[in-house]
Amino acid sequence: MPLFIKNGEIVTASDRYRADIYCAGETISRIEPTIDQSELPRNVEVIEAAGKLVFPGFIDPHVHIHLPFMGTLAKDDYESASKAALAGGTTTVIEMICPGPDDEPLDAFDEWASRAEPLAAVDYSFHMSVVRFDKKAQRQFRTIVTKKGIPSFKVFLAYKGALNLSDEDLFGTLRLARDLGSIVTAHCENAEAIDAMQQALVAEGKVGPEYHYVSRPPIVEAEGVHHILTFAELTGAHVYTVHTSCDEAVRTALGARYRGVDVWIEAVVPHLVLDKSYAERPDFEGGKYVMSPPLRDKRNQPVLWNAIARRFISTIGTDHAPFDFVGQKDLGRDDFAKIANGIPSLQERIGLVYTHGVTAGRIDLATMVDACSTQAAKIFGMYPRKGTVAIGSDADLVVFDPGYRGHFSRATSHSKVDYNAYEGWEIRGRASVVTVRGEVQARDGEFVGTIGRGRLVERDATH
Ligand code: URP
Ligand code: ZN
Ligand code: ZN
C-alpha cells in the first residue's frame, strides 16, 4: 500500500526541515514542502505527523541474536529481536556471526542466514567473525565478502580459548580485509592479561560480579586498541573498534587516527548510561550488568558523549547480547568469569539516546541520527539506500513523538530475556510509527508488521 507521511519535520544527519513524504512502493518517491493528497492513489495509507519528527530508520551495527557463548545460548531469535528493534525505532540490524573455532565459515554464514530469513521483520546483515584463519577458511572468507555481500569481519582480541585470534592470524585477517576492501570490526581487550587476572582473582576468593571489572581495567582495552591499530597501520586495513567504553581506549584510537590510521569508533548504549556501580549491586544483582568491556567508572560517560557530539565516535550501537538472569547469568554466581556476558538494549537504544543524549543537551538531534543511523550505513556499505531520508532511499522511516513520556520495563519489552537492565527508568520520546521499505511494522511500541518480511541487505565493499 502506498504511504503518505504528512506535516512532519524531517531530521537527517545534516538537515532539519518540514516536508511531506510519499512512498509509492519500497523506496521514497517524493519529498516536497506540501504534497496534495488528491493526487495520490485512493488506497494510500496516511500518517499524520504534525508535531512529530521524521527520522531515517535507525541502524544497530552491533547485535547478537543467535549466540552460542560461554556455555549457553542467547535467548532471542529473529522474531523477538525484530519486534524489540522495531518497537524502539530500529529498522536494520547487523548481527555478529560467531562460530566456534572448528566450524567452517560458510556453514556458519548459512546457519546464521537461515535463522534470520524466516523470522526477520527488520532488514539485516552480518559481520563475519574470524575465529580461524587457515587456507580453507581464507577461501571461504573471500566468498563471503565477494559473493554474499558481507564486507566486514569481526575479530576478538578477547575471550581466550573461545574466540580470540593469534597475532599471526590477526595480521593475516587485516591483510585479507585490505585486499578485499572489507572493514575489520574488533573487540579490543587483551585475552591473555584478562585470563591471568581472572585466575588470580578467583584463586583469592574474589568471585562476585564486581570483580569482572577488576579483571579487565581500561588499560587492557586501550592496549587492545593500540595493538590492532598498530597492525592496521602496518597493513593499511580499515578498523572499527566495537563497544569502545572508556577515555583511555578512545584516546588511543584517536591517537592512531591522528597518525593516519583509518579507524572508526563505536560506542554502545550501556556504557553511555550505566556505570560500574550497577555491576557492584549486592546479592548477585550485579550479574545483570556484566558485559565486556565492563561498565566503567562514571567519569568516562562525559568523555564518550563529548566524543559523540564532536563526531569523533561515529556510531552508537547496543551490543545486544540477550542472556536471562535466571539460568544463564547465574551460571556465574560462584565465579564472575562464568557469568554470560551481555546487557540487552536493542529496544531501548533510541529511547536512551534521545532521553540521556538529546533532551539532556549532550548531543543534538542531527548527531543522534548520524550516530544511530547514517554512519552505520556509510561505514558498512549501505548508504544512501539506508541511513537517510532521500528520494530513492529505502522507505525505512521513524515518525517520532518527542512529547511522549513513559518508563522502560520488562513488561513492555519484546526481547525474551527475563529482566530489563533499565527497569523503571523514564523514557522521553518514542517511535510512534516505524516503517520498513514502505510498510508500517510498529506503532507506539507494538509490533504490527509481518514476520519474515525482513531482507538480507547485500552491502558494498567500500573500504
Ligand atoms: O558482553 C558482551 N559484549 N557480550 C557479547 C559478546 C561481545 O563481546 O560482543
Ligand atoms: Zn565484544
Ligand atoms: Zn558484541
Task: Taking residues 60-83, report their average pLDDT.
Answer: 97
**pLDDT tens digits along 91-103:** 999 999 999 999 9
Atom of ligand 1 nearest to the CA of 158: 8
Q: Which of 65, 292, 339 to mutate to test the pocket of ligand 1 (most atoms within 8 A of CB)?
A: 292
Whether the predicted pLDDT of 449 surpasses 90: yes
Residue 161 pLDDT grade (very low, low, confident, very high; cuts 50, 70, 90): confident
Task: Taking residues 374-399, report their average pLDDT.
Answer: 98
- pLDDT at position 281: 98
- pLDDT at position 157: 96
Of the chain, the percentage scoring pLDDT greater than 70 comes to 100
Whether the predicted pLDDT of 372 surpasses 90: yes
Q: What distance in angstroms lies between residue 156's CA and the mean position of ligand 1's atoms? A: 10
**pLDDT tens digits along 263-295:** 999 999 999 999 999 999 999 999 999 999 999
Ligand nearest to the CA of 95: 3
Task: Taking residues 127-135, report their average pLDDT.
Answer: 97
- pLDDT at position 215: 98
Which residue's CA is the nearest one to ligand 1's atom 8?
A: 292
Q: What distance in angstroms lies between residue 8's CA and the mean position of ligand 3's atoms? A: 35
Q: What distance in angstroms lies between residue 291's CA and the mean position of ligand 1's atoms? A: 6
Task: Taking residues 152-165, report their average pLDDT.
Answer: 94
Task: Taking residues 116-140, report their average pLDDT.
Answer: 98
- Looking up cell 580499515 gives 238
Whether the predicted pLDDT of 380 surpasses 90: yes
Residues in the ligand 1 pocket, defined by CB under 6 Å: 64, 187, 243, 291-292, 319, 321, 341-342
Give this prediction's pTM: 0.98
d(C-alpha 158, C-alpha 189), whole Å? 5
Q: Spell out the domain ranges in the chain.
A: 57-379
Q: Which of 221, 319, 329 to mutate to test the pocket of ligand 1 (most atoms within 8 A of CB)?
A: 319
Whether the predicted pLDDT of 330 surpasses 90: yes
**Domain range 57-379, CATH class:** alpha beta
d(C-alpha 253, C-alpha 299), whole Å? 18
Q: Which of 63, 64, 266 to mutate to test the pocket of ligand 1 (most atoms within 8 A of CB)?
A: 64
**pLDDT tens digits along 190-216:** 999 999 999 999 999 999 999 999 999
**pLDDT tens digits along 395-425:** 999 999 999 999 999 999 999 999 999 999 9
Whether the predicted pLDDT of 87 surpasses 90: yes
Average pLDDT, the chain: 98
Task: Taking residues 437-450, report their average pLDDT.
Answer: 98
Q: What distance in angstroms lies between residue 154's CA and the mean position of ligand 2's atoms? A: 9
